[in-house]
């Protein structure tokens, strides 16, 4: 066999910390910050840096926790730890350094509430959701709190209250969105997950029933977006239209999930759609204050 060359330190670091996924959660935190402030100031930069560092640390720690499972899945077998590019001990040190730094950035540059919410996100993801998904196919439902926390961190970093109905509405939409997002990933990679020892809803329900259940949650995600104008997260007509059209497009594009004979291409297409919808949702919230001027 020809040996697989090791990745460069930079590419290894970016893969270990899942920069793309970490960056996506950071983007949703920007929505919370801008939604409260109804604008942008320099504090947005430190908010995004703190959240990004926490997210990268949490992702790296997740790769340490799941390294044995990752080695058994074709999709994840080439991650840095299974490849042997970095030891679990070194990866853990990187994870801790990133997470602690991110926590301190939020604490020093903003406030204790945002820092504690960041710590809660890490604890929930690494301490609760990661071990739970090894034993329950339904782990993603409570685990979806992870998707709700970044907007709340951004909101509180800007000076808002974590109990404000507006941020709770925004967080709820991202909570609902996270469930079908993950179930589509399960539908796409069920065999790999099961081969690595993770229970999936494909085994529990079968793929057709899971597809219908996922479509129902997608419709719930679209419907939940109606909370944002109701609780004044959105106040401009252009942002409301932007989000409404995005929600309609998401539901229409997901209708094939109700048909028999779903294949990997369908799951991949709808998975891309729901990710693009999260981008539209976040952009609508960020742009709303500027549309209102």
How far apart are alpha carbons 158 and 246 in whole angstroms? 27
Share above pLDDT 90 across residues of the chain, in percent, rounded to a whole number? 69
Share above pLDDT 70 across residues of the chain, in percent, rounded to a whole number? 98
Q: What does the buried/exposed string (b/e) look like for 207-218 if buried means 16 or more CB atoms within 10 Å of the residue's CB?
A: beebbebbbebb
Q: Average the pLDDT over 274-286 and give the result.
A: 96
Has residue 262 got a pLDDT over 80?
A: no
How many CA atoms, within 13 angstroms, populate the side-chain half-sphere of residue 142?
Answer: 13
Among 1-15, 83-97, 226-240, name the one with the lowest average pLDDT. Answer: 1-15
Q: How confident is the model at residue 2 (pLDDT cuts 50, 70, 90)?
A: very low
Under DSSP, is residue 37 helix (H, G, I), strand (E, B) or coil?
Answer: helix
Has residue 4 got a pLDDT over 60?
A: no
- The CATH class of 9-291 is mainly alpha
Q: Average the pLDDT over 140-155 and give the result.
A: 93
Q: How confident is the model at residue 5 (pLDDT cuts 50, 70, 90)?
A: low
| pLDDT, tens digit (0-9, with 9 covering 90-100), for 154-171 | 999 999 999 999 999 999
Calculate the average pLDDT of the chain.
91
pLDDT given for residue 229 in this prediction: 95
How far apart are alpha carbons 202 and 89 in whole angstroms? 34
**Higher confidence at residue 266 or residue 98?**
98
Q: Average the pLDDT over 204-230 and give the result.
A: 93
How far apart are alpha carbons 226 and 234 in whole angstroms? 10
How far apart are alpha carbons 43 and 31 in whole angstroms? 13
Q: Are 130 and 194 in contact (CB under 8 A)?
A: no
pLDDT given for residue 9 in this prediction: 84
To which H or E segment does residue 128 belong?
none
Q: How confident is the model at residue 77 (pLDDT cuts 50, 70, 90)?
A: confident
| pLDDT, tens digit (0-9, with 9 covering 90-100), for 27-47 | 999 999 999 999 999 999 999
Under DSSP, is residue 110 helix (H, G, I), strand (E, B) or coil?
Answer: coil
How far apart are alpha carbons 27 and 167 in whole angstroms? 15
Has residue 60 got a pLDDT over 60?
A: yes
Has residue 85 got a pLDDT over 50?
A: yes
Q: How many residues does the chain have?
A: 293
| pLDDT, tens digit (0-9, with 9 covering 90-100), for 43-58 | 999 999 999 999 999 9
Nearest in space to 258 (alpha carbons), one of 291, 202, 215, 194: 215
Has residue 6 got a pLDDT over 70?
A: no
In whole angstroms, how far apart are CA 23 and each of 26, 50, 51, 103, 105? 5, 12, 9, 16, 17
């Amino acid at each position: 066999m020809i040996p697989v060359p090791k990745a460069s330190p930079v590419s290894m670091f970016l893969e270990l910390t899942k920069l793309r996924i970490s960056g996506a959660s950071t983007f949703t935190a920007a929505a919370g910050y801008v939604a409260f402030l109804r604008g942008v100031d320099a504090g947005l930069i430190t908010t995004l840096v703190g959240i990004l560092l926490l997210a990268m640390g949490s992702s790296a720690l997740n790769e340490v926790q799941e390294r044995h499972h990752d080695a058994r899945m074709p999709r994840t077998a080439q991650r840095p730890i299974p490849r042997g590019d970095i030891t679990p001990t070194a990866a853990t040190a990187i994870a801790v350094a990133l997470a602690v730094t991110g926590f301190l950035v939020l604490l020093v540059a903003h406030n204790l509430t945002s820092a504690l919410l960041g710590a809660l996100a890490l604890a929930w993801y690494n301490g609760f959701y990661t071990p739970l998904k090894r034993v329950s196919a339904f782990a993603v439902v409570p685990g979806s709190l992870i998707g709700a926390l970044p907007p709340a961190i951004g909101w509180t970093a800007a000076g808002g209250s974590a109990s404000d109905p507006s941020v709770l509405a925004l967080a709820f939409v991202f909570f609902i969105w996270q469930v079908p997002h993950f179930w589509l990933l399960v539908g796409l990679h069920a065999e790999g997950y099961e081969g690595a020892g993770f229970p999936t809803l494909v085994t529990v329900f079968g793929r057709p029933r899971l597809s219908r259940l996922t479509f129902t949650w997608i419709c719930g995600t679209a419907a939940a977006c109606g909370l944002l104008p109701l609780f004044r997260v959105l106040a401009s007509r252009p942002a409301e239209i932007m989000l409404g059209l995005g929600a309609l497009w998401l539901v229409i594009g997901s209708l094939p999930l109700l048909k028999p004979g779903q294949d990997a291409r369908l799951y991949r297409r709808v998975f891309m759609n729901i990710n693009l919808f999260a981008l539209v949702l976040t952009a609508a919230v960020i742009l709303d204050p500027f549309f209102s001027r």
